[in-house]
């Protein structure tokens, strides 16, 4: 079995203090994709760069305390790509790709548009640029798993209060349609949904820090494994780890045969 974890850390230093790396070691995953490092290269200690003997590869944002992505792997990758070729968004540290034989594992952190109309426009620009890139990845003919925080809940079952969020970033009609194009036209697979087509409350991966969202399970499913059909068909078990809280997101764990 190949075990792959996706985890938005909401700050690698914060998550480390909450025991993330001890938990990660216990999981014995083959690959761990992390997002929202909120750290620059000088902030990355050996414990963050190569925890428990893992190989780590990272994309740092130019802006301090912002964004950032990484891939940890048990084996050394054959090749690594940092960024996907967009000057605007590569400056924000949103993409790491690692190749292992015929498998590529990618960690992605898609922009959020919730902070301002300007950021929502940036999110739309990202979506316009990222879709052709996703098409080019499919055309490579490799097996790929893209793990990360996509900042979009695809369908009504993917968030608690869907009716009241239809005009909010993360559940806008344009964002949802973009995800549908990804799955229905390009041929990518939402791996969690393949295994659990009907799950609602147990599927959430993010809870707002406002109010009592965590306590009341008022969540969103915005963290995904998006995979090519071949490896998606080999997914056997998916879980969302909620016993400990390392972040406002919960790690999404999927095992592939």
Against a cut of 0.85, is the pTM above it? yes
Cα angle, residue 90 at apex, residues 181 and 147 outer, rounded to 5°: 50
| Mean pLDDT within 25-53 | 97
Helical residues (DSSP H) of the chain, grouped into ranges: 12-17, 20-27, 46-49, 87-90, 117-139, 173-180, 191-195, 229-232
Question: Which pLDDT tens digit goes with each residue over 198-244?
Answer: 999 999 999 999 989 999 999 999 999 999 999 999 999 999 999 99
Q: What is the pLDDT of residue 32?
A: 98
Mean pLDDT of the chain: 98
Q: What is the pLDDT of residue 177?
A: 98
Of 157, 154, 111, 144, nearest to 130 (Cα)?
A: 111
Which pLDDT band holds residue 84 (cuts at 50, 70, 90)? very high
Is 149 labeled as catalytic in the residue annotation?
yes
Q: What is the pLDDT of residue 44?
A: 97
Question: Under 8 Å CB-to-CB from 169, ≥6 apart: which residues?
Answer: 112, 113, 114, 119, 120, 123, 151, 175
User: Which of these is catalytic: 30, 47, 149, 202?
Assistant: 149
Question: Which pLDDT tens digit goes with each residue over 107-163?
Answer: 999 999 999 999 999 999 999 999 999 999 999 999 999 999 999 999 999 999 999
Q: What is the pLDDT of residue 144?
A: 98
The secondary element (H helix, E strand) that includes residue 99 is strand 95-100
Burial of 175 (0-12, 13-18, 19+ CB in 10 A): buried
């Amino acid at each position: 079995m190949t075990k792959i974890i996706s985890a938005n850390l909401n700050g690698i230093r914060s998550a480390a203090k909450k025991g993330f790396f001890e938990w990660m070691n216990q999981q014995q995953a083959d690959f761990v994709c992390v997002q929202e490092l909120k750290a620059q290269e000088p902030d990355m200690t050996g414990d963050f760069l190569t925890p428990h003997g893992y190989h780590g590869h990272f994309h740092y944002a130019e802006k301090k305390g912002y964004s950032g992505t990484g891939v940890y792997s048990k084996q050394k990758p054959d090749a690594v790509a940092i960024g996907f070729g967009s000057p605007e968004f590569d400056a924000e540290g949103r993409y790491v790709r690692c190749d292992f034989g015929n498998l590529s594992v990618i960690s992605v952190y898609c922009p959020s548009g919730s902070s301002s109309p300007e950021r929502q426009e940036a999110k739309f620009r990202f979506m316009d640029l990222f879709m052709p890139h996703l098409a080019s990845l499919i055309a490579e003919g490799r097996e790929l798993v893209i793990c990360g925080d996509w900042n979009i809940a695809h369908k009504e079952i993917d968030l608690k209060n869907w009716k009241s969020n239809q005009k909010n970033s993360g559940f806008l009609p344009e964002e949802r349609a973009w995800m549908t194009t990804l799955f229905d036209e390009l041929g990518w697979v939402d791996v969690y949904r393949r295994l659990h087509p009907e799950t609602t409350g147990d599927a959430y991966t993010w809870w707002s820090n406002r109010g009592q969202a965590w306590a009341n399970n008022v969540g969103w499913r915005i963290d995904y494994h998006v995979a090519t059909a071949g490896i998606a068909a080999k997914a056997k078990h998916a879980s969302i780890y909620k016993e400990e809280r390392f972040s406002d997101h919960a790690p999404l764990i999927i095992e592939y045969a």
